[in-house]
Amino acid sequence: MKQWKNFTKGFIKDNPVYILLLGLCPALGVTTSAFNGLGMGLATTFVLLGSNTVVSIIKNLIPNKVRIPSFIVVIASFVTIVQLTMEAYMPDLFESLGLFIPLIVVNCLVMGRAEAFASKNNIGSSIVDAMGMGLGFTLALTMLGGVREILGAYSIFGIQLIPGVTDGMLVFVLAPGAFIGMGYLIILFNYLKKKTA
Amino acid sequence: MEYFAIIIGAIFVNNIVLAQFLGICPYIGVSAKVSTSVGMSGAVLFVMTLATIVTFLIYNYVLEPFNITYLQTISYILVISSLVQMVEIILKKVSPELYQALGIFLPLITTNCAIMGVALLTIQNEFTLLQGVVFAISHAAGFALAIILFAGIREHMELMDLPKAMRGAPAALVVAGILALAFMGFAGLV
């Protein structure tokens, strides 16, 4: 029961993007479509899972003073793994996510979970925490991507909603739509949080 | 002419915050007052220029000759975070006034993706060192422009009677969206 709570807290109550406002750069930058949001979310989840696992294993070996640089090296290694794997197997997605893949390393969400959770808890809870937070992040990005794709191109995951109509409200695919869409989704999540609390 | 295109492109057309979504955390986080956002812009200008120079040298004289460019991400983040620490220590000794002004913003900058983003973009665009420096300074100027404008608007928003749900982050993001819309007017300038 405790683990279940630990797992689901990332979805609404402590949603990393809409409630905690962490990792806003990739959330705004890559979500031009639902698919890109999903890809970025899963890439971040993988890094989070890897770094949380390793950090919780080595937490007793690292001297307290150098823990932040050590965490950064662990995170950066997993980011490099994602970067090279994605470039090899999913070149299209890699192209459209671009700069934001190497920038997972400075995503405050990953660092935040390593510092606030994995360095204090055992490996089991750390993995559960990483899964929950990662999926919450994925959910957030897919939702923002979905909203922008539906309004901006009248499609979802590349499937046209209205046959023959392709030019939606372009502003939602461009930069301003990301900010405005995010603003309204924050309101929605604050409402949901209040409802479920 | 080529430098002119880099400068205008970085400040207005591809504004680092409003068009490229880098450095959103400080943009939302420390933009409540104009004075703090000026301090943050100063720190960003300082660190961004230094980090771009150092990472440029590392890429071209260490990573590429030894054929280990896959270590780019790891080496950059380590260099940037140690650079920030070093700058902090040196500033404390050499110029206490500047340290007073920038002090609290420096540690925040390590996790600012704008710094790392500009360092990566400099390599991606295959700039020379001088072009890279100009690129970094104009991106920092673009950041300053965006955050100071935004802080000015937010100071006025304090007095507005917004619906309760909109207060804080949601209103800030919608305003940022409108600001981004305004900056889109610069598209196609260069």
Closest to A58 in 3D by CA, of A117, A134, A123: A123
Question: Across-strand partners of A155?
Answer: A160
Q: What pLDDT shows up at residue B110?
A: 66
Q: What pLDDT shows up at residue A37?
A: 92
**CA distance linking residue A78 with residue A113, whole number of Å:** 15
Does the structure show a pLDDT above 80 at A52?
yes
Q: Smallest Cβ distance to B177: which of A76, A180, A191?
A: A180
The answer to whether B30 contacts chain A (CB < 8 Å) is no
Q: What pLDDT shows up at residue B1?
A: 65
pTM, full prediction? 0.88
Residue B101 inside a domain? The answer is: yes
Residue B157 inside a domain? The answer is: yes
Q: Given an 8 Å threshold on Cβ–Cβ distance, is B78 in contact with A84?
A: no
Q: Given an 8 Å threshold on Cβ–Cβ distance, is A99 in contact with B180?
A: no
Q: Given an 8 Å threshold on Cβ–Cβ distance, is B72 in contact with A73?
A: no
The answer to whether B142 contacts chain A (CB < 8 Å) is no
Q: How confident is the model at residue B83 (pLDDT cuts 50, 70, 90)?
A: confident
Q: Smallest Cβ distance to B21: which of A29, A102, A107?
A: A29
Q: Given an 8 Å threshold on Cβ–Cβ distance, is B24 in contact with A28?
A: yes
Q: Where are the alpha helices (DSSP H) in B95-128?
A: 96-102, 105-109, 113-124
Pull the structure tokens for residue B155.
Answer: 């100071």
Q: Angle B129-157/B34-58 helices, nearest 10 degrees?
A: 160
- Kindly write down the DSSP assignment for every residue of chain B, as one continuous string: -HHHHHHHIIIIIT-TTTTT--SHHHHHHT-SSHHHHHHHHHHHHHHHHHHHHHHHHHIIIIITTTT-GGGHHHHHHHHHHHHHHHHHHHHHHH-HHHHHHHTTHHHHHTT-HHHHHHHHHHHHTT--HHHHHHHHHHHHHHHHHHHHHHHHHHHHHTTS---GGGTTHHHHHHHHHHHHHHHGGGTT--
Q: How confident is the model at residue A1 (pLDDT cuts 50, 70, 90)?
A: low
3-state secondary structure of A20: coil
- Please answer whether residues B139 and B118 qualify as being in contact, where contact means their C-beta atoms are separated by less than 8 angstroms: yes
Nearest Cα of chain A lies from the Cα of B19 at a distance, in angstroms, of 6
- For residues A135-146, one letter each, b for 16 or more C-beta atoms within 10 angstroms of the residue's C-beta and e for the rest, the string is bbbbbbbbbbbb
Does the structure show a pLDDT above 90 at A137?
yes
pLDDT of B157-167, one tens digit each?
Answer: 888 888 888 88
Q: Looking at per-residue confidence, does B28 or A181 come out higher?
A: A181
- Domain with B116, as residue range(s), is 23-184
Nearest Cα of chain B lies from the Cα of A39 at a distance, in angstroms, of 18
The answer to whether B100 contacts chain A (CB < 8 Å) is no
Q: Which of A17, A21, A25 is the mutation pick for testing B, counting most B CBs within 10 A?
A: A25
pLDDT of B108-147, one tens digit each?
Answer: 676 678 888 999 999 988 899 999 999 999 999 999 999 9
In this predicted structure, which of A161-170, A182-191, B165-174 has the lowest mean pLDDT? A161-170
Contact map slice: B 152-171 vs A, CB within 8 A: 165-166, 169-171
Rounded mean pLDDT, A25-39:
89
Q: What is the ipTM of this complex?
A: 0.85
Q: What pLDDT shows up at residue A152?
A: 87
Which residue has tokens 């460019």? Answer: B69
| B chain contacts of residue A151, beta-carbon cutoff 8 Å | none
pLDDT of A75-122, one tens digit each?
Answer: 999 999 999 999 999 998 888 888 888 888 888 888 888 888 888 888
Q: Given an 8 Å threshold on Cβ–Cβ distance, is A29 in contact with B81?
A: no
Q: How many CA atoms lie within 13 A of B80 on its CB side?
A: 36
Rounded mean pLDDT, A33-61:
92
Q: How confident is the model at residue B103 (pLDDT cuts 50, 70, 90)?
A: low
Name the closest residue on chain B to residue A81, using Cα atoms. Answer: B70
Q: How confident is the model at residue A74 (pLDDT cuts 50, 70, 90)?
A: very high
**CA distance linking residue A69 with residue B79, whole number of Å:** 11
Query: At residue A152, what are phi and psi to the nearest 5 degrees?
Result: -85, -30
Q: What pLDDT shows up at residue B111?
A: 64
**CA distance linking residue B113 with residue A102, whole number of Å:** 10
pLDDT of B18-64, one tens digit each?
Answer: 988 888 888 887 888 888 888 888 888 888 999 999 999 999 999 98
**CA distance linking residue B136 with residue A172, whole number of Å:** 29
Residue B14 inside a domain? The answer is: no
CA distances for A187 relative to A24, A34, A184, B160, angstroms: 15, 20, 5, 18
3-state secondary structure of A169: coil
- Please answer whether residues A59 and A119 qualify as being in contact, where contact means their C-beta atoms are separated by less than 8 angstroms: yes
- Please answer whether residues B63 and B75 qualify as being in contact, where contact means their C-beta atoms are separated by less than 8 angstroms: yes
Name the closest residue on chain A to residue B74, using Cα atoms. Answer: A76
The answer to whether B109 contacts chain A (CB < 8 Å) is no
**CA distance linking residue A185 with residue B170, whole number of Å:** 8
Per domain, the residue ranges of chain A are 2-144
Strands A155-156 and A159-160: antiparallel
Q: How confident is the model at residue B92 (pLDDT cuts 50, 70, 90)?
A: confident
Residue B131 inside a domain? The answer is: yes
Rounded mean pLDDT, A25-29:
87
- In chain B, the number of structural domains is 1
Residue B138 inside a domain? The answer is: yes
Neighbours of B95 (CB within 10 A): 12
The answer to whether B79 contacts chain A (CB < 8 Å) is no
Q: Smallest Cβ distance to B77: which of A83, A106, A108?
A: A106
